Copies of this chain bind each other. A is one copy, B any other.
Amino acid sequence: MKRSIYFVSESTGITAKKVGQSLLSQFDGLEFDSHYVPFLDTPDKALALAQRLGEERLERGVRPIVFATLVDKLLRQILKQCACLYIELFDAFIDPLSAELGIQPTGRTGVTHGQRDQGRYDARIDAIHFAMANDDGIRLDKFDEADVILIGVSRSGKTPTCLYLAMNFGLRAANYPLTTDDFDRDDIPFQLLPFRHKIVGLTIDPVRLHRVREERRPGSTYSSLEQCQREVAAAMRIMARLNVSVLDSTSRSIEELASHIVEVPVGGAG
Contact = CB atoms under 8 A, between A and B. Distances in A.
A267 B115 CA distance: 29
A142 to B, nearest CB: 14
Interface in A137-190: 157, 159-160, 163-164, 167-168
A11 B63 contact: no
B266 A111 contact: no
A222 interface: no
Contact of A160 (B36, B106, B128): B128
- Report whether over half of chain A's contact residues are helix, strand or loop; otherwise say mixed: mixed
Interface in A243-270: 251-256, 258-260, 262-264, 266-267, 270
A97 B65 CA distance: 9
A159 to B, nearest CB: 6
Contacts of A267: 48, 52
A210 B256 CA distance: 38
Interface in A207-262: 251-256, 258-260, 262
A126 to B, nearest CB: 8
Contacts of A103: 27-30
A100 B86 CA distance: 11
Contact of A129 (B11, B116, B159, B253): B159
A22 interface: yes
Contacts of A93: 23, 87, 89
Given A27-B98, A97-B27, A263 B85 contact: no
A192 interface: no
B65 A100 contact: yes
A13 to B, nearest CB: 6
A27 B101 contact: yes
A77 interface: no
Nearest to A37: B266
A21 interface: yes
A147 B77 CA distance: 36
Interface string A14-25: 110011011111
Given A36-B263, A132-B132, A270-B33, A107 B160 contact: no
A14 B254 CA distance: 12
Given A3-B101, A12-B255, A26-B107, 10 more contacts: A4-B270, A14-B259, A18-B112, A27-B97, A33-B270, A45-B266, A48-B267, A85-B96, A113-B253, A164-B167
Q: Which 6 A/B pairs are nearest by Cβ-Cβ distance?
A: A113-B255, A26-B105, A12-B259, A25-B111, A22-B112, A38-B259
